[in-house]
Structure 1
Amino acid sequence: MPGQVLEYVALSLQVAKHELLLFTGFWFILGASDDFGVDLCWIWLRLTGRARAGRITHAEASVPLAGHAAVVIAAWREAAVIGHTISHALSVWRQDDFTLYLGCYCNDPETIAAAMAAAGGDPRVRLVINESPGPTTKADCLNRIYAALCRDEQRYARRYSSVILHDAEDMVHPAELAVIDAGLARADFVQLPVRPELQRASPWIGGHYADEFAEAHAKVMVVRDALGAAMPAAGVGCGFSREMVARIARLRGAAGRREGGPFAAECLTEDYELGLLVRREGGRSRFLRVRDEKGELVATRAYFPATLDASVRQKSRWIHGIAFQGWDRMGWSRGPTELWMALRDRRGPLTAIVLACAYVLLMIEAVQSLGTVAGIRVQFTGSPLLYGLLRLCLAGFLWRAAFRFAFTTREYGILEGLGAVMRIPVANVIAILAGRRALTSYVRSLQGQAVRWEKTEHAGHPALGLPSMGETARGLMR
């Protein structure tokens, strides 16, 4: 009897394995085909010279701006990093025609004190204190800054030409203002690349961000720009024309939204949504890759989460805001290109399910291997279709790994390129956990739970380095 039970269990596992292989194989090939389409577009752009980064000289990076820029930063409990962000920006940006707006909360005196100390009375820094105790939402804080910006325009009888978004932990590039200013002369929204900095203390969790952004901001966003698709805003290193921000603010006001500004307070990815709204309002968006005289990318540098829990929380917020809230709030575009990009943006939950099934397959394989050692064997009879799917899956994985290696190597060196391939399972596990958490959070929001600013804690700044990896950061800065 026990032997019959074991054989029945083994047979059941074999049937489950067959069905899961068909399910994961189908969706993996579909996803690989999607990525392959982007790859082909990028290869064509590369061959025709349209994917090459532009260049900016030291002199061009220092020219006065066409108008006055407003740089806005929302900060809640950022005393550890906000001072470095402010002092670094004031020291490397050579223009005087910008104002740095920093939104703080009345119940966060540490951040306020750190910001005031870093500003040192510089007239280019403007502190906006939110009278509501924090944290509210990031969008709410940004809308308070926007209201202060509008009051300043009335008070000083001048109108800003652009609004630039940054986070409290960002390290800006000296040429950023010049590049964004030049880009906004021909567009309503400009996004610059984001470059996650390497962390010796977190080569796996922190490192996988470098892999993903290296490929996304050197290939995917370049393709979106070339196709003329709506451009999502990353929330950092992105600039909007003043008129476009005002137009979106009027749009929200006409719709009776309660936030009273251009940012959606009930949305977890208000920056992503703001970027897409530019296209819907008839504006033009651009993604600009530019390198300075030293060959360094004009990009926003920052440390990303270094622990599994923090990474899962951050990515679950992205999935919730982009996939679930994006579907609810933005709907679906009728244009083929926009529909393709929306499907790509919102495939996070499905990707999590498919990856979870793939790892269940690995566990079944492990159990079957133990059964084989114990003398329990069940003959596997897969169909030709299944074997064909598995071959395509293997080819697709090798293709993806090669691209991940190439883009990471290009930006961080060959050792990190090899590490990028080894970090693929880490990225998969984070995607699975984040997808599950995002779904749970979304269901709770449907039940009436209000969204809140579940921000990432920041322990260090790229301009100085984390306490445990200072020498590494200083080496990167040289």
Structure 2
Amino acid sequence: MTPFYTALEWLGRAEHELLLFAAIWFAVGTLDELGIDLLWLWLRLSGRVQTGKAPADIDAPLRGVAAVLVPAWQEAAVVGAMLTHTLKVWPQKDLRIYAGCYRNDAGTLMAMVSAARDPRLRIVVHDCAGPTTKADCLNRLYAALTEDEARGGFRARSVILHDAEDMVHPAALTLLDRGLDDADFVQLPVRPEPQAGSRWIAGHYCDEFAESHGKAMVVRDWLGVGLPSAGVGCAFSRASVEAIAVRRGTAEPFAAECLTEDYECGLLVGQIGGAAKFLRMRDHDGHLVATREFFPAGLGPSVRQKTRWMHGIAFQGWDRLGWDARPLELWMRLRDRRAPLTAIVLACAYILLIISPLLYIASQLGVYQSRPIDPLLKLLLIANFAGLAWRCLLRAAFTAHEYSLGEGIMAVLRMPLANVIAIMAGRRALSAYLVSLYSGRVKWDHTVHLNHPALASVR
């Protein structure tokens, strides 16, 4: 046998092993998602969960001081619009916004000053050169809040997290405030805004959040398991923030060495015995009460952002939060941390898309004899194909429901691109994690935002 034929035989063996590996793990992932799907369908059909109606009195006085923390680094293009819009649509006098920037970021500081005519806004300049980490900036804002509490003789009722690129909903503050009546942590949905100049990359965020915050978070809320914080549109009771700091053994509630401190704090509320709630409601016009923002429109920024999420949630989450023996909590931790494995499985599938056609052509030319597919493997492939069709249907349905039928169709077409971004982010996240283990330091790999929804035409 010539070396050429030997190479084809080795390629055929590689195809079989990759196919078996990918088929098994795709089947596991399908069962995981199917569990969430069936629970959600049962909850909806039985009427146990429904999207509620936001209260009409959205300008009603708050039940205590609400402190909104807005950390920023190189956000001159958006932070002024964010602060101006937030102060306009949230007129309550007990609102306090703590906007933080760094001493070496004059552009962001000047943009904040442009919105500083409202006495409810306090600009806090970090005495460190930026960027440190988002959590470190949040800790500086939290310290400013505690200083104000000591001087002013008051105690905030809630600590609310938002980013410089967010556009808040007018009803959101009232919902967060009232949601804390019987919870220690409240999360509202996130609604990425479609961008005409980036239907594919920015658009895939619309698809993912429409399904995640329309289904998965609803199921998690009903199950009573720990709810991860999205870092925006979420409120913590003042007592829970202090309890988290005590649990960490410091005066700072946010872990400066963590890339996804928001996700961590959300889960820590459950670990300290607090109650969490996911509120999904629509206003009188039928619009979702959610935090709107423009997500990355370019491939590089999107990969960097998802690298940070994967690094913080999957790798640091494993190190810092460990696992939970309770079955439902264990299931959710596995779901949260499966992204690196998913990236590997997807990479195998895409390699197969290259290998299999080559081997098929070789078999048609008579230079390679393909191996028969095992019955069990064939069954797995059929099941996975059915699972893929189901996933496409649900992804299209959730996106179409929140945006439009056209976006729902685009959601299916965007899935391969979303997979490529996940593969690239998985490789980078593993590399970044290994580097952090060696150096002992993490970096705020910040996403630059150039436009704010309040400055654009949004529905």
Pairwise TM-score range, normalised by the shorter structure: over 0.9
Mapped to 2, the partners of 1:339 and 1:202 lie a distance apart of: 37
Could you report, residue by residue, the CA deviation over 1:96-144 in whole angstroms, capped at 9, with x for unpaired residues? 211010011111111111111122x211100111011111111111000
Runs of 4+ in 1 over 6 A off after TM superposition: none
Long gaps (5+) in structure 2: none
User: 1:445 deviation in Å?
Assistant: 1.1
1:289 is matched with 280
Which residue does 1:315 correspond to in 2?
306
- Normalising by structure 2, report the TM-score: 0.98
User: Using the alignment, how far apart are the partners of 2:5 and 2:315 within structure 1?
Assistant: 43
Q: Paired residue for 2:387?
A: 396
Question: Which 10-residue stretch deviates more, 283-292 or 445-454?
Answer: 445-454
- Aligned counterparts of 1:170 and 1:379: Cα–Cα separation in 2: 54
Q: Which amino acid aligns with 1:9?
A: A
- Pair 1:6-2:13 in alignment: no
1:449-460 aligned at under 5 Å gives the runs: 449-460=440-451
- Matching residue within 72, 75, 89 for 1:75: 72
AA partner of residue 98 (structure 1): L
- How far does residue 6 in structure 1 lie from its aligned partner after superposition? 2.6
- Cα distance in structure 1, aligned partners of 2:376 and 2:246: 55
* Separation in 1, partners of 2:363, 2:17: 21
Aligned length, in residue pairs: 459
TM-score, normalised to structure 1, is: 0.94
SS at match of 2:98: strand
> Which amino acid is the alignment partner of residue 71 of structure 1?
V
Asked if the contact 1:10–1:378 (Cα under 8 Å) also holds between the matched residues in 2, the reply is: no
Contact 1:106–1:130, Cα closer than 8 Å, also in 2: yes
Structure 1: state its 5+ residue gaps.
Answer: 466-473
2:186 corresponds to 1:190: yes
Structure 2 partner of 1:136: 132
Alpha-carbon distance in 2 for matches of 1:327, 1:455: 22
Q: Is 2:58 aligned against 1:23?
A: no
1:104 aligns to what?
A: 101
Q: 2: CA distance between counterparts of 1:423 and 1:246?
A: 42
**2:193–2:293 CA contact under 8 A, matched in 1:** yes
Q: Please state whether the residue corresponding to 1:118 is helix, strand or coil.
A: coil
Aligned-residue offset at 1:250: 2.2
Give the letter for the 1:389 counterpart: L
Aligned match of 1:87: 84
**Contact 2:69/2:99 (<8 A) preserved:** yes
User: What amino acid maps onto 1:211 in structure 2?
Assistant: D
Secondary structure of 1:301's counterpart equals strand
Residue number in structure 1 paired with 2:426:
435
Aligned partners of 2:54 and 2:289 also within 8 Å: no
Answer yes or no: is 1:62 the counterpart of 2:59.
yes
Report the Cα distance in structure 1 between the residues aligned to 2:243 and 2:373, rounded to whole angstroms. Answer: 58
SS at match of 1:294: coil
Fraction of identical pairs, as percent: 57
1:373 Cα deviation after fit: 5.7
Structure 1 residue 370, shift from structure 2 partner: 3.9
Once the two structures are TM-superposed, the CA of residue 449 in structure 1 deviates from its matched residue by 4.2
Q: Quick check: 1:40 aligned with 2:38? A: yes
User: In 1, Cα distance between the equivalents of 2:455 and 2:277?
Assistant: 31
- State how far apart, in whole Å, the 2-side matches of 1:9 and 1:391 are: 29
Picking from 377, 382, 388, the partner of 1:386 is 377
Residue 176 (structure 1) aligns with? 172
Per-residue CA deviations over 1:304-325 (Å, capped at 9, x if unaligned) read: 0111111111101111100110
Amino acid at match of 1:23: F
Paired residue type of 1:176: A
Counterpart-to-counterpart distance in 2, 1:379 and 1:298: 55
